[in-house]
Structures are given as structure tokens and as C-alpha cells.
Structure 1
Amino acid sequence: MFARLARLVTRRPGLVLLATLLLVGATAVLGVTAFGKLQTGGFDDPRSGSTHADQAVEERFGGQPSLVLLVTARAGTVDAPDVTAAGRELTRTLAAEPGVNRAVSYWDSGGPPLRSESGRHALVLAYTSDDDVAEDLVARYEQARDVPGPVTVTPGGAATIGENINDQVTTDLALAESVAIPITMVLLIVAFGGVVAALLPLAVGVVGIFGGLAILSVLGSLTDVSIFAVNLTTALGLGLGIDYALLMVSRFREELASGRDRADAVATTLRTAGRTIVFSGATVVAALAVMLVFPPYFLKSMAYAGIAVTVFAVLSATVVLPAILVLLGPRVNALRVGGLIGLIRRRRAAGAAAGPREASESPAWRAVASAVMRRPLLVGVPAVAVLLMLGIPFLHVSFGTPDDRVLRGTASSRQVGDVIRTDFAADTAAATTVVLEGAAGGPGGGAPAGGPAPDGYARDLSSLPNVARVNSAAGTYAAGRQVTPPAPTDSRFSAGTSTYLEVVPSVDPASDAGQDLARAVRGRPVPAGTSVLVGGPSAVLVDGKATISDHLPLAVGLIALTTFVLLFLFTGSVVMPLKALVLNALSLSAVLGAAVWVFQDGHLSGALGFLPGPLDTSMPVLLFCIAFGLSMDYEVFLLSRIKEEHDRGVPNTEAVATGLARTGRIVTTAAALLAVTFVAFATSSVTFMQMFGIGTALAIVLDATLIRGVLVPAFMRLAGNVNWWAPRPLRALHARIGLVEAPRVEVAYNVPVENVG
């Protein structure tokens, strides 16, 4: 396969580049349309009971309030005559807006629950027909926040949270790129020692990014896709471009230095580094594809984006980049930079007298590998202990769903949410929603004709712990008694043979008590002949956690199986895949523990500017899959060179030392550059995107240092020849279907055997 590909790119490099330019142009035109098709939600399970309940409320009862307006008196209280007049006028105007089904305020039928305890604030709730109407209203009230008058009006609620997050993601993406790209470009010039070579990773990355955006645009027209997939597209596209270009260009330079002409150098590079990239890309795709088993479309969107970017990056690195290298030849080293870099290059050139293979090695990494393998237990055990200690905080992890608190305090939805949490007895918009369906007759109390009677049921629910009140067709109940009779003109709680109740909590819906309340509501007896659906924020969180835990064993099993199969095909060993899985598990546990320590426990919250809180239910899964895929990327890089030496007959310790010496610089350079790309998301104003960026960057750094630099050589030294063991049937299978770079050639090496300990 690689021989045919080499013939294509070496004979027709100009044609390959022309086709690439046409492809990039087409994907760029299509990709820019993706932004208008993507959504801000996607964190809940579309098949869960809470989702069905919320859909029923939306379709039959007009839904929950999508827009919450916080009205604040500039002077005095909201009961002042001028504030009252302004509040009523605001409610009438809002109710008259096209697409607004209903508007409720403190000055209208909302009553005391919509008045703050301090008396300075009151709420206006708007029920809209669709999201577009709510978004238009949010934009209008955002612009009118500073209009003179007796009150200020600040928009909040679900629609405003969505708009604030959407706007912030776009802003954060531009900021992250403005930080990451210049730094990355400088580091690339340092790493490659020249401007021409430094531009090649950007070429690979651009193909991957535009290709990924084009796929998101197509999928966004067919199904729900999360806006956050754009962040992964840009970061992963640039990162994989760096990884793959570093590997290809380094090997191409090595082959040129050995005296090959440019065509032969490209052919050898494709056969070795190109093969490694294809396997590496396959492991990344396998890790990302696991997210498709989870129902929330946030995770599915990340899988779509990651798979698309990886496939385009692999194609670009193994087809487009070789064509560029054929045309450049030795000019790949053009426009070298001076100073310290020039000194480093001159020293490397001076080492060429020892031969091109030795000159391509890193003496520092050979020294590290040799030192580790002299005392593998002494070095390896403390490294394992460090990773385990980093993972300890994950034992007390708690989970939540994104709300306004993922935004900075300057966002209007966050400001409204903070006031409601601190100055209101309860939040109607956070109610647990209950839909009763059936044909149980009974005395009215506002019950629909032939439908279930909600009075006794509402009274029962209001007596549950942490319930502020229950709003129903039978009136409002609190502490087991009716406090407000049903309004004759209020029909929003009744629809045919169904009725709807709002169980308003007195606690944070994301808290343990809020989740317990949702479970308690589901556990209460319902009127005879009826069925119940329970939704709302607390129920969504309960169902989201259950969804992740239910699908996690399948996801872990799939990722372990696919990784094992791919690494077996790559190495012919069953030990190497098992070693990779164990070390990756150690690394990922450390990353997840660090995420809890920082973002849940609040360490560094001042420096990073976020509000500590539970981790989003989807984020550990995303971190696991992304970090696992990228770590396997570097695993394949290192194993490819170790196996190349092993297949030449080099003894185990020498093969490991040589492999690390020849890939250590590439892996650490690629890791540093990729970490910069992801850590740039620390500038985000959305907390879970900060966690994603910092967590991924930490995973990359740990993998390139403790894992590849310490634990891999320590393990391989202890395992010795067992590293390459496989049962006889699997060895036969690998001989038939495994991919082998070159025939095994025995080379005599006189390498002393060190003591283990």
C-alpha cells in the first residue's frame, strides 16, 4: 500500500497538490456555514424519562419559562408606584410579543414567589413558542439593559444561558487561536530550525480543520450537533498536524542525510513514518468513536469532529505532505534561523561524522532511557505513586449539568442566576416538572374533564422535604396544604386527559438534596389509572448520571478491545497492548483527579477566574477519550522505532534506548506544542471548556514525560523478551494479517545486561 502511495506522490506531486487546493477550497466554503447550524445544548439523554417529560410540557402545556427577566428597582423596592407601573408595562409588552405564549410577573399573577426577599428585585417569566423567539428577545433585552427609567432589566433563564455560551464560545475560540497560533509558530521554528519546515504542520492542520468543519456543516443539516465541537476541531486539527508533520519531516531529513535521493527518501518515510501515522490515526479514531455509544449529542458531536479531523489529518500527512517534500527536497531545510538554534544545528551536524542514524538521536533521551533501565524499579515505582496520588481526588467527584455558573460573572444569565440563588426563596424555572397522564376521574380542583385529579397528589408532593411549593391545576400547595386556590382563567396546567405540576425546590436543583427530591417525586404513589413523567433540571441530572454509568462499561470495553487489536496488529505482541492500557489508565486517573482538585475543589479558581462546582457529567468521558487517543498517538510513535530496532535483531535494552533516543525529541516537542494548543483554552470564559483544555494539556504532558520517558522503558526493561510474546495461534495470525515494515535482519550487538532493581 505504502509503495503504491509513494509512486503516486513522487511521480505526480503537482497533481496531488492541485487536487488538495481544490479540496481545501471546497471544504473551507462549506465549513464556514457550520457555525449557523450548531447548537449549545446536548448534555441530556434524549431517550430518558426527564427528556420525555420536558417534551410533553413543551408540546402540551407551553413549556417552562425560557426567558427570565430580572427587574431591579433603581431606588427603593419593587412595590414603589413607579416601579410597579414599569413592571406591569414590561409584562404587557412582553406578553404582546409575537411568539410569546404567556408572560407572568410579580405584579401580575406571579405573586410573592417572584419577589426577592430584599424587595429590590422581581421576576418576569416568558413562555415562548420556539427557541428563535427567545433568542431574539434575549438580544433585544441585552441591548436595552442601560435604558434610563425606574428599573433595570437583565435577561436570564435557559435562552439567555444558551446565547451567552454561544457568544462566549465564538469569542473564546478567537482568543485561544490568537494566543496559541503565534506561540506555536515560534515553537515550530525552534523545533524545526527553519521557517519552511515549520510551515508544514500548519499545512497539514489546515486540511484537517477545514475538513472537520465541512463534516460538521453537513451533519449539522441532518442532526443536532454541539457548538463545542468547533473548539475540538481547531485544537485537534492543529495538534495532529504538528504531531504527524514532525514525525514525517524528521524521518525525511534522516533519510536525506543517509544519502538517499528525494524520491527514495519519501518512499522510505512513507513506509516507516507513514505507516506509523496510519496506525496512530486509527488508534485516535477508535478512542473517539467510543463517544458515539453515549446518547447525549454533545459527546456524539465531539466524536464526529474528532474522527473527521483525524481522518483528514492522516490523509494530509501521508498524501499531501509527501508530495510537498518531493518538491522541496533538501530545500525543506531552507530559511534556517540563527542564534541558539543555529548552534544546536551545528552541533548536530558535527555529530554526523558518527553516521546519520547516530546524528538523528537525542543523547539526552538515550541517557534518560539508560538510567531508567539500570534501576527500573527504583525509578518506576515512585512514578506510579505520583500518578496514583494525583488520581485520589477523583474518589470524591460529584457531577452536575451546565447552567449559568459555567460562565463568568459578567454574563447576564450568570448575574440573574446569582441573584435568584441568593435573594429568592425558590426558583420557579428550576422546578421539577411532573406530567400526569391517564383517565382517572375525580373531583375537579382544576383537573381536566376525564383526567387525573391533581389536588391530593399535589398536596402529597408539597409535603416532601425541600419542596418550597407545588403549582398545579388545583392551586398552589406548600407543606401539605393549599395556599392559593386555582385561578379560573389559568388553564396552563391542563391539556386533554393530562395535567401538569411544578414542584418548586427550596434547594439548588444540582445539589444532592435536589437530586434526592427528583427521585422522591418519582417514588411517590400516583392517582389510580395514571402514569407519570418527571423532568426538570434535577431529573435531567439524575438521568444524565445514570446514562453515563450505564454506557461506560461498554465504552471502556470497546476502547480496550480496539486498542488491543490495533497494537497487536502493529507489534505482534499481546504484552505491549496490555502495557499500554495499564499505563494509560494510570495517566488518565491522574488527569481526572487533577480536574476534580482544580475545578470541583476550587484550587486555582482565583487565577483561572471560574466558580468551583461539580464536573459536567459528559466532561470526564470527553477527557478520557481525547486523552486516551492522543496518548496512544505517542505510544505508536515510540513503539514504531523500538520495533524497528527489535526487527533488526537489536537486543531489548538497546532497542528501547535507541527508540526513545530517536523519538524522545519528537514526542516531547509535539507534546509541548499540542499542550500549548489545548492550554490556550484556559483563557475561556466557559468553565467546562477550561477544564477540557487544561485537562487535555496535562494528559499530554504526563504522557510525554512520566509515561513515555520513565514507565515505558522501565516496564520494557523488566519484561525483557516477554515484551514481544504472543501465543502461537496469535503469532500465526499476525504473520498472515499483521503489517511488518521490513524483513528481520540479525545485527550483532554487544550490550551488557544490567542488574534490575
Structure 2
Amino acid sequence: MFERMSDLAIRRSRLVLVVAALAVALMGVMGAGAFDKLLGGGFDDPSSDSTRAAAVVDEKFGGGTNLVLLVRPSDGRADAPAARASGSALVADLRKEKRLGNVVSYWETNSPDLLSGDGREAMVLANVRGDTTQQRENARAVLDTYGGTYEGGLTVRAGGGAAVGADLSQQVVDDLILAEAIAVPLTLVLLLFVFGSVVAALLPLAIAVIAIIGSFAQLYLLGSVTEVADTATNLTTALGLGLGIDYALLMVSRFREQLAAGAGVDEAVRRTVHTAGRTVAFSAATVAAALAALLVFPQYFLRSFGFAGVGVVAIAALSTLFVMPALLKVLGHRVNSGRLPWALPKGADSRGPLWGRLARTVMRRPALTALPVLAVLLLAASPLLGITFGTPDERVLPEDAQSRQVAQVLRDDFGGSQDSALDIAIEQPVAQGPLAAYAGRLAALGGVERVETSAGTHTRGRSAPAGPADPALGRPDAQRVRVVSTLTPKSDAAQELVAQVRSVTPPPGTDPLVGGTDAVLVDAKSSIADRLPLAVALVVLTTFVLLFLFTGSVVQPLRALLLNLVSLGATLGVMTWIFQDGALSSVLGFTPQPMEVAMTVLMFCIAFGLSMDYEVFVTSRIKELHDQGADDESAVVDGLGHTGRIVSAAAFLLAVSFFAFGTAQLSFMQMFGLGSGLAVLLDALAVRGVLVPAAMRLLGRTAWYAPGFLRRFHARHGLSEGGPEPLAAPGAAGASRAAAEHTTKV
């Protein structure tokens, strides 16, 4: 396969580039419509009770409340005659909107729960119609028309799920633009320092641009056939930029190394594809396998990241394997054009002497050097002992977001909000007596403010109705019950209330479905916890198989898995310390809250895949030298000397693309960017630089152990970085590394 790739690049290089240019143009056209295909949300399990409850409410009761308008008159109280007249006119206009349904206001119900404690603001509740995308668009249209100053001196502010979704979707786009505006130029500067040549530095960036454009095209295609979360754009662009640069960096470095060793252009292209190209292909497989584990989860937020992540990894790898060799063939020795003052002299050894010296020091004193690093990583992981989980709400938005401000007012100035109430759907007919008795049992639960039904309103702790019935909550074939509490949404107490509500004895012959924001959180955590063991098992099994194929050892995969878990634990611990405990909240400008459960799983899969990426880079070269007869210490020292510079440069460049999302205004995107970037650096520096050579020294010959039947299997089917031919003979300046550059046959 790699022979055919190299021949295509050598013989049809210009044709390959023309086809690639046309493909990029086509992908650009498709990618321009990607945002119209993407959805907000996606954190709930479609088969959960909470999702089914929402479906029943939508079908039989016109939808639950997802838009809350706070209306304040310019002077006086909201229940004054003038304010009442203006408010009633506003409500009449809202009822004419086809985008809205179930419009309810204080001025018609006179419910004290819809009036603030000081009487200055009144509440209007509504349901924004449509699916997630339509709700987002409809909410924006309603807010553009009625938000801000309205007729009669009214000031209207919007909150609720639909308003939060509209703000989130817009913030995703703003954050993406800012992050890429930072990452791309900074990455170019770093590439110039790494390569010391303008032309060589531009090549990885070209592959990254192809990967980013391709990622938007695949999002458009995926969004046309399945549900894809709008935040997938952030992942695909960060991964596309980072991996495109990583893979191209490996190819360009090997090509320049071949030229420096005296190979002709054609031969340098061929051997670059056979060596670095082979590593790119199977390194991409490790990342794709880790991301594919996200497909086991039912939430389309995670599944869309699985589809999109695998797609962008494939695009980055394919563009590197086909476009990059053609570019190298066309450029030839001009790849070194535009040399900069800090560039290595021609013929200089491209190995990283610092990495070789570090590996030698660690190998000679493994315990002394590795134990402090291990202790720091375990200390960094310690916040995981107190980790809690949640789902995104308005608090992930910046403090000046209107939907977040409205949510805070609802918590502070109103007696519980129907927007965050538990919404119970009963799909069977229920007589008024049993319904009232059920509501009384619910009202007796701790933290419940009131229970609203078609049989009456039950207030805190009272079994008999204390308020009027709401006929809109009842139908001959179904009933809807609203449980409004004083508990902080998504708190431990609020989640416990969900369990208590579900344990209350229902009316005879009924099976109530409990929904609402707190129920969605409970169900999401349960759903992810149920499928997490399968996802982890798939990641571990895939990693074990791939690393065995590279190393021929059953010990090396276990060593890699253990070290990766340590570095990932440290990363997640630091993120818990920052985002849950609020250590850097004043610096980054976010509100501390529980770790977002889906984003934490996503970050784990991405970081694990990328760590395996670098594991393949390093271990394959160590194995290659070991098979050539080098002793354990020489294989590790020379292997890290050859790959350490590339791995560290690739890690820094990839981390830049992730760290750029630290500028995001959405706190869970900040966590994703900072966590992924930190994981990459920890793995490349602490794990590859210190823990790997220490482990190799302590394991000794055991590191390469495999049972006899597996050794025979690996001899036939194993993978290595080397291609079918030896590398070009090095020139005088490269003679000292001839043995290390000789490659093995597959």
C-alpha cells in the first residue's frame, strides 16, 4: 500500500495536487453550510424517562416551558394598572407568534409565583416550538422582536432553555473564531522555529488547513444524516489543526533527514512514505480508535464527537499521506528554502541531544528521577477524590449573558421557577381524587415549594389543595404534574429530590415519567456510567492490540496503559481543581461548578488517543533499534534522541491549538481546551521523557516479553516504522547515526 502511495506521489505529483485543490474547493463550499446543520444540546439520553417525559409534554400539552421573559415597567410595580395594561398587550402580541405556544403570564393568572418578591418584575412563560435547531432560531427571532425596550415602557429580558441555547450556539461561533485567530499565527511562528525554514514551516500548516476545511465539510455531511452537536466544530478544528501539523511535521522532518543523508528526491519521498507515512497511518488509527469509543454513548453530543473526531483524524492522515508526498516531490530540495538564522547547519545531526541525555540519565537512575515525577502526577490527580458531575446550564455562559442573568433573578427573586421544575407526565387517564392524593404525597417531600395539577395546587407540606387548579395540565387521556422546588438546580439535593419523586407511589394503574432539568442530569449521569465500562474496555483493548502489533510484547502495552492512566489522572485532577474547585476562576472568568460529565468523557478519550499517538512515535523507534541488536539502554537513548525532538515539537504545536480555546467564554470549552493541551504536554514531556525510560530500565528484558505463539503471530503480522528498503546511506555528517537509521522489514 505504501509503495503505491509513494509511486503515485512521484509519478503523478502535479495531478495529485490538482485533484487535492479541487477537493479542497468542493469541501470549502460544503463546509460553508455546516453551522446550519448542527444542533445545540444533545446531553440527554433519548431513551431515558426524562426525555420520554418531555416528548409526552410536547405531544399532548403543547410543550414545556423553555422561554421565560422577565418584564419590568419603567416605573412602579408590575401589578400597577398601567403596567398591567402594557403587559397584557405584550402577551397578546406573543400569542400571535407562530413560533410560540402555551404563553402564560402573571397578568392573566395573578399567580404570586409569577411576580417577583419586590413586585417590580413579572414573568411570562412560553414554549418555543420546533426541534433543537428550530428552537434556537425561533428564540433568536422572538428576542430580536420583543427583547430590550418594548412598547408601553416595558423592559423585556429573556431566559429559559431556549434562550440559553441561542446564547450558547452564538458563543460557540465567537469562541471558535477567536481561538483560530490565535492558534493559526502562533502555530506558524512555532513552525518557523522548529524547521528554521519558511517553506518547510508552511507545509504542515497547509495540511492543517486542508484538515480544517475537510472537517467542516464532513460536519455538513454528518449533520445532513444524523444529529451533530454544534460544539463539534471546536473539536474538529482543534484536532484538524493539531493533528494535521503533527503528521506533516513527522513527514517533512523525515524527508529533510533523507535529503541530508544523500538520497535523491524520489528516493527520499519513497522512504519517507514507507517510514513516517507508515507511522502516521497507524498513529491515526490509535486516535481514531479512542474517539470511536464515544459511539457507544446514546447522547448525540458524545456520538457526534465520535463521528466527527474519527472523520477529522482520517482527513488529516489521508491528506498527509497523499498530498504531502506530492508537495515534497514538487519542491524537492527547495523544501529548505527561506532558511532562517537559527536553522541547523546543512548536514547537522537532527537528533535532539537533550532528549538523549535525559533518557541516559533516567536509565542510570530510574528510581531517583521517576519517583518525584510520579509523585507530582499523583498529587495533581488527588482532586479527583472529590469530583462531582453536572451538565451544562446557563452558568457556563459569561456573566453578562442575558439568559444567565435572568436565571439568577429567578433563583433570587421568585419563589421557585417553573422553568427548572420537575415535569411529570402521566400517559394514562387519572381521576381527580387519585391525582390530588398523588400531588399531596409529592408536596410532602423536602424542598418542594408547590405541586401544580389539574386537580389543584398543593403547597409545601400540605396534602390538601391550597391553590386553584390548572385545567391546561389535564386531558382525558393524560395528566401533567409540575413540582416546583426551592432547591438550587442541579445540586445534590435537587438530584436527590428526583429519586424521591420517582419513588413516590403513583396513582393506581399509572407509570409517571419524571422530566425536567434535574431529571435530565440524573439520567445523563446514569446513562454514561452504564456505558462507560464498555467504552473504556474498547479503548484499552484497541490500544493493547495496536501496541502489541508495534512491539511484539504484551508487557509494553500494559506499561503504556498504566503510564497513560497516571498522566490522564493528573490532567483530570488539575481540571477538577481549576473548574470545580474554582482555583483559577478569577483569572479565566468562569463560575465554578461540577465537572461537565460528557465533556470529561470526551476529554478522556481525546487525551488517551493522543497519548497513544506519541506512544507509537517513540516506542516504534525504540523497538526498531532493539531489533537491530542495540542493548536496552542504547535503544531507549537513541530512540528518544531520534523522536524526542519531533514528539516535543508536535506536542507543543498541538497544545497551542487546544490552549487557544482557553480564551473561550464558555467554561466547558475552556476546560476542554486547557485539559487537552495539558494532557498532551504531560504525556510528551513527563511520560515520554522520564517515566518511559525509567520503566524500560526497571523492566529490562521483560519489557519485550510475549508468549511463543504471540511472537510467531507478530513475526507474520506485526507493524514497524521501517519500510521494505534500507534508508539512504548517510553522508559524512550523518555517518554516526547510520545504524540507528537502518530500518527493518515488515
User: Where in structure 2 are the equivalents of 1:48-197 lying within 5 Å?
Assistant: 48-109=48-109, 111-131=111-131, 132=134, 135-142=137-144, 144-147=147-150, 149-197=152-200
Map of 1:448 onto structure 2: none
| Residue 725 of structure 1: how far off its partner (Å) | 1.5
Task: Sort the Cα spacing of 1:744 and 1:333 in 2 relative to 1 into closer, same or farther, 3 A.
Answer: closer
Map of 2:340 onto structure 1: 337
Report SS of the residue matched to 1:426: coil
Of residues 579-588 and 15-24 in structure 1, the stretch that sits farther from structure 2 once superposed is: 15-24
Cα deviation 1:406-429 (Å, max 9, x = unaligned): 100111111101111122220111
User: Where in structure 2 are the equivalents of 1:393-472 lying within 5 Å?
Assistant: 393-439=383-429, 442=431, 444=432, 453-472=434-453
Percent of aligned pairs with the same residue? 51
| Residue 270 of structure 1: how far off its partner (Å) | 1.2
Report SS of the residue matched to 2:156: strand
Match of 1:260 among 258, 263, 275: 263
Opposite residue 318 of structure 2, the aligned amino acid is L
Cα deviation 1:268-302 (Å, max 9, x = unaligned): 11111111111100000000000000111001111
Map of 2:476 onto structure 1: 496
| Residue 258 of structure 1: how far off its partner (Å) | 0.7
Opposite residue 57 of structure 2, the aligned amino acid is V
Q: Is the 8 A contact 2:128 2:162 kept in 1?
A: no
Map of 1:510 onto structure 2: 490
Tell me if 1:665 matches 2:667: no
| Residue 128 of structure 1: how far off its partner (Å) | 3.5
Task: Sort the Cα spacing of 1:146 and 1:497 in 2 relative to 1 into closer, same or farther, 3 A.
Answer: closer
Question: How many residues matched?
Answer: 726
Map of 2:589 onto structure 1: 609
- Partners of 1:717 and 1:742 in 2: CA distance: 28
- Partners of 1:668 and 1:129 in 2: CA distance: 51
- Partners of 2:99 and 2:301 in 1: CA distance: 28
Which stretches in structure 2 are left out of the alignment for 5+ residues? 727-735, 741-746
Map of 2:368 onto structure 1: 378
Of residues 467-476 and 569-578 in structure 1, the stretch that sits farther from structure 2 once superposed is: 569-578
User: Where in structure 2 are the equivalents of 1:541-620 lying within 5 Å?
Assistant: 541-620=521-600
- Partners of 1:438 and 1:414 in 2: CA distance: 37
Cα deviation 1:693-720 (Å, max 9, x = unaligned): 0000110111111111100111111112
Map of 1:366 onto structure 2: 356
Tell me if 1:480 matches 2:462: yes
Report SS of the residue matched to 1:177: helix
Match of 1:530 among 505, 510, 528: 510
Map of 1:283 onto structure 2: 286
Map of 1:728 onto structure 2: 708
Opposite residue 292 of structure 2, the aligned amino acid is A
- Partners of 1:110 and 1:413 in 2: CA distance: 24
Task: Sort the Cα spacing of 1:75 and 1:322 in 2 relative to 1 into closer, same or farther, 3 A.
Answer: same
Which stretches in structure 1 are left out of the alignment for 5+ residues? 446-452, 752-757
TM-score scaled by structure 1? Answer: 0.93
Map of 1:310 onto structure 2: 313
Report SS of the residue matched to 2:719: coil
Cα deviation 1:452-483 (Å, max 9, x = unaligned): x4111111111111101001010111122445
Q: Is the 8 A contact 1:13 1:323 kept in 2?
A: yes
Q: Is the 8 A contact 1:388 1:590 kept in 2?
A: yes
| Residue 137 of structure 1: how far off its partner (Å) | 4.4
Q: Is the 8 A contact 2:139 2:163 kept in 1?
A: no
- Partners of 1:137 and 1:707 in 2: CA distance: 48
Cα deviation 1:309-366 (Å, max 9, x = unaligned): 111111111111011111111110111223xx24xx23xx4xx4xxx6xx12111111
Cα deviation 1:123-143 (Å, max 9, x = unaligned): 110124325367334444346
Over the residues paired in the alignment, what is the CA RMSD in angstroms?
2.0
User: Where in structure 2 are the equivalents of 1:341-352 lying within 5 Å?
Assistant: 341-342=342-343, 345-346=344-345, 349=346, 352=347
Of residues 143-152 and 688-697 in structure 1, the stretch that sits farther from structure 2 once superposed is: 143-152
Of residues 4-13 and 251-260 in structure 1, the stretch that sits farther from structure 2 once superposed is: 4-13
Opposite residue 624 of structure 2, the aligned amino acid is E
Report SS of the residue matched to 2:148: coil
Cα deviation 1:349-385 (Å, max 9, x = unaligned): 4xx4xxx6xx121111111111111100111111111
Report SS of the residue matched to 1:41: coil
- Partners of 1:589 and 1:395 in 2: CA distance: 11
Map of 1:754 onto structure 2: none
Map of 2:220 onto structure 1: 217
Q: Is the 8 A contact 2:568 2:604 kept in 1?
A: yes
Opposite residue 383 of structure 1, the aligned amino acid is V
| Residue 102 of structure 1: how far off its partner (Å) | 2.2
| Residue 742 of structure 1: how far off its partner (Å) | 5.7
Report SS of the residue matched to 1:637: helix
Q: Is the 8 A contact 1:434 1:535 kept in 2?
A: yes
Q: Is the 8 A contact 2:614 2:684 kept in 1?
A: yes
Opposite residue 43 of structure 1, the aligned amino acid is F
Map of 2:732 onto structure 1: none
Of residues 197-206 and 102-111 in structure 1, the stretch that sits farther from structure 2 once superposed is: 102-111
Opposite residue 171 of structure 1, the aligned amino acid is D
| Residue 224 of structure 1: how far off its partner (Å) | 1.1
Deviant stretches of 4+, over 6 Å: 747-751
| Residue 54 of structure 1: how far off its partner (Å) | 1.0
| Residue 74 of structure 1: how far off its partner (Å) | 3.5
Task: Sort the Cα spacing of 1:133 and 1:491 in 2 relative to 1 into closer, same or farther, 3 A.
Answer: farther
- Partners of 1:239 and 1:133 in 2: CA distance: 34
Report SS of the residue matched to 2:472: coil
TM-score scaled by structure 2? Answer: 0.94
Cα deviation 1:580-605 (Å, max 9, x = unaligned): 11111001111111111000111110
Map of 1:755 onto structure 2: none
| Residue 748 of structure 1: how far off its partner (Å) | 13
Cα deviation 1:474-513 (Å, max 9, x = unaligned): 01111224455545xx532123321110011110220011
Q: Is the 8 A contact 1:67 1:138 kept in 2?
A: no
| Residue 208 of structure 1: how far off its partner (Å) | 1.8
